[in-house]
């Protein structure tokens, strides 16, 4: 894949999972979401730096400290230079949580069994479903709701019902012809029944019907069941990214 395509993928993924607050500092995108998820509370390397890394790291540490947040760097392989990684190591930062960006060309999937229904939901209904499937209080999802509300590209919040029983949820975000898959979750009682694959199918059909041609997703390197599922569906590694913080 050409470097220009990696830029498009990275931009689409950042737009699909935005932070409620952010700022740009010398080519770095600083994101803040009250500590909810690493992606929305980290520095994302986007453009070349003009300032010395040592100075920039010190300034960013002060900014994140003022927000009562740890400073976390998100380092995509195509954009994070060896010099930056060395500067972070010298400043006491350590690598953790390698994550893969997987992708593939997409086309419409087959028909669903008659007992499966895919529902396009509003934010409140989807949050309630997500809370129920995960067994967490609805109050836990306040920042997640804020993130959903500020997504600008087209999105679908999808719930899967099997024989009138809610079993799974997922989100698709479409920017141009790039379809991102996010927040795929199958309730614990309903796993190993193929519902994760069916949710992916539902999101794919939604995206393809609106012009999607390439699908991508992000999966942590230690989530082997998810990696296995996506590889069976034809997804391949586009690039990976690492996180870095003082451990």
What was the pLDDT predicted at 192?
85
CA distance 89 to 24: 23
Report yes or no on whether pTM surpasses 0.85: yes
CA distance 143 to 130: 13
What was the pLDDT predicted at 48?
86
Q: Would you say 184 and 67 are in contact if contact means Cβ atoms under 8 Å apart?
A: no
What was the pLDDT predicted at 240?
96
Residue 11 CB neighbours (<10 A): 14
What was the pLDDT predicted at 211?
98
- Which segments of 49-115 does DSSP mark as H helices, in order? 53-66, 82-90
What was the pLDDT predicted at 110?
82
Q: Sheet of 236-245: strands edge to edge?
A: 21-25, 28-32, 43-45, 73-76, 236-245, 94-105, 214-220, 178-186, 165-175, 154-162, 116-121
What was the pLDDT predicted at 158?
98
Residue ranges for the chain with pLDDT beneath 70: none
DSSP strands (E only) in the chain: 21-25, 28-32, 43-45, 73-76, 94-105, 116-121, 154-162, 165-175, 178-186, 214-220, 236-245
Distances (CA, A) of 201 to 67, 98, 185, 228: 40, 26, 14, 16
Tokens matching residue 43: 């520095």
């Amino acid at each position: 894949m050409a470097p220009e395509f990696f830029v498009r993928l990275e931009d689409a993924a950042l737009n699909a999972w935005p932070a409620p607050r952010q700022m740009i500092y010398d080519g770095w995108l600083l994101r803040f979401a009250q500590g909810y998820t690493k992606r929305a509370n980290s520095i994302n390397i986007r453009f070349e730096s003009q300032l010395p890394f040592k100075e920039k790291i010190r300034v960013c540490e002060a900014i994140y400290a003022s927000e009562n947040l740890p400073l976390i760097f998100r380092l995509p392989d195509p954009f994070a230079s060896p010099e930056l990684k060395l500067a972070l190591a010298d400043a006491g930062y350590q690598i953790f949580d390698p994550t893969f960006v997987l992708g593939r060309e997409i086309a419409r999937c087959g028909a669903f069994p008659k007992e499966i229904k895919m529902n396009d939901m509003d934010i409140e209904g989807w949050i309630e479903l997500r809370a129920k499937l995960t067994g967490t209080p609805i109050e836990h999802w306040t920042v997640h709701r804020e993130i959903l509300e500020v997504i600008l590209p087209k999105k679908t919040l999808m719930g899967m019902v099997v024989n009138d029983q809610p079993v799974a949820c997922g989100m698709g975000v479409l920017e141009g012809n790039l379809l991102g898959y996010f927040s795929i979750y199958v309730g614990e009682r309903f796993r190993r029944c193929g519902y994760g694959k069916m949710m992916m199918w539902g999101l794919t059909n939604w995206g393809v019907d609106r012009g999607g041609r390439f699908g991508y997703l992000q999966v942590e390197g230690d989530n082997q069941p998810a990696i296995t599922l996506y590889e069976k569906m034809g997804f391949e590694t586009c690039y990976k990214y690492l996180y870095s913080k003082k451990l």
